[in-house]
Amino acid sequence: MHKPSVKLLALLGAGLLSTHALAQNPAANYPQRPIRVVVGFPPGGATDILARIVSQHMSASWGQSVVVDNRGGAGGTVAADMVSRANPDGYTLMMVPSGPFTISASTYENLPYDTANGFAALSLLAWVTNAIVVPANSPINNLQDLIRMAKEKPGQLSNSSSGNGSLHHLAGEVFKQLTGTKIIHVPFKGGGPALVAISTGEVTFGMSSLPSIMPLLQAKRIRPIVVTSQKRSAALPDVPTIAEAGLPLPAGLEMREWYGMVAPLKTPPAIVEKLNAEMVKIIRRPDVQTRLTEMGAEAAGSTPRELATQIANDVKTWAKVVKETGVKAN
């Protein structure tokens, strides 16, 4: 029987070492196939827009397809449940908006996943300001007009939201509490459909994120009357803040939203690190920052731990607001 040559043994040994190295570092050749970025809402909203910006640059950088998969329903919880059960291999990710993602932990009973501890946080990508908007031909010109009309016609005005239990829904309930008004809440399946309802006059007004409203604003189909952030937006410098318009928000209540990327729990740390590094690099590109500013968003970029902490803190904060307003998702 012939003995294996020294050269053959060396090759076998190198192969075994290479296989062992790949097992120890699953990110070494990642990604090797298309990546799916799940969005829990229909196309057209800020979550979808930001997901597509990041996906396009990831695909260009890595030479692999990065596909946005819109799975609307139940305030994003259908998509979150699907992602929580996906194989934790780095090929299924999810773009999450802070409001629906963290609020759902309190507005839905018996969620099949743990919002604060059931996902691998990747990076916080952007902060987004919200605005209260009305149809372009509305007689409402400012916040005081809206409040006065709501008091003169109790139960006759309506406001849209991106869904029951969304941040925009809760913000509307807080608005009614602060102003002592009765307004009909009309939920839609996502920010896009909610904005269309405003632009057509189906509802009196609504709150939406600046990236979502920009196309309809530029088309002169809607008008913003206030932004809900503590300072004016660089994208809408002439629009007053809600406090400037005479309605300061309760201390500690943040009506801005953040957007971040998560993956299934137990995604290998090496892949989490590689995804985080790529996303932070993308979000800090000058051209991406310029585009985000034009959309009314502020580029972020964070460590996985920072996003995980943000999620946990927001779950607690919104649980208090949900309890005070009595909002339920269904």
Would 234 be classed as within a structural domain? no
Order of strands across the sheet that contains 119-128: 66-70, 35-39, 92-97, 257-264, 119-128, 297-299
pTM over 0.85: no
Cis bond upstream, residue 269 (ω within 30): no
More confident residue, 254 or 72: 72
Query: Domain with 113 in it: what CATH number?
Result: 3.40.190.150
Same domain, 72 and 216: no
Residues 104 and 39 grouped into a single domain: yes
Mean pLDDT value of segment 39-66? 92
Query: Could you tell me if 40 and 95 lie in one domain?
Result: yes
Q: What is the pLDDT of residues 206-238, one digit of tens each?
A: 999 888 898 999 999 999 999 988 889 888 999
Q: How confident is the model at residue 138 (pLDDT cuts 50, 70, 90)?
A: very high
CATH number of the domain encompassing residue 148: 3.40.190.10
Does residue 121 sit in the same domain as residue 43?
yes
Q: Which two tokens stand for residue 51?
A: 């997901």
Are both 221 and 140 inside the same structural domain? Answer: yes
- Which residues of 182-288 form beta strands (DSSP E)? 184-187, 205-209, 222-227, 257-264
- Which of 23-27, 85-89, 149-153, 272-276 bottoms out in mean pLDDT, i.e. has the lowest? 23-27
Boundaries of domain holding 286: 35-128+256-325
Confidence of residue 326 (pLDDT cuts 50, 70, 90): confident
Q: How many domains does the chain have?
A: 2
**pLDDT at residue 196, rounded to an integer:** 95
- Tell me if 221 is assigned to some domain: yes
Query: Are 294 and 151 in a shared domain?
Result: no
Provide the pLDDT for residue 34: 97
Q: With cut-offs at 50, 70 and 90, classify the pLDDT of residue 21.
A: very low
Q: What is the pLDDT of residues 255-272, one digit of tens each?
A: 788 999 999 999 999 999
Q: Are residues 137 and 121 in the same domain?
A: no
Same domain, yes or no, for 106 and 168? no
Residue 238 placed within a domain: no
Q: What is the chain's mean pLDDT, rounded?
A: 89
Residue where one domain finishes, among candidates 179, 210, 227:
227
Q: Establish if 249 belongs to a structural domain.
A: no
Q: What is the mean pLDDT of residues 281-308?
A: 93
Is the per-residue pLDDT at 45 higher than 80?
A: no
Higher confidence at residue 93 or residue 174? 93
**Residues present in the chain in total:** 330
- CA distances from residue 250 to 72, 175, 203, 230, 311 in whole angstroms, order as listed: 31, 11, 26, 11, 21
Average pLDDT of the segment spanning 148-163:
95
- pLDDT at residue 272, as a whole number: 97
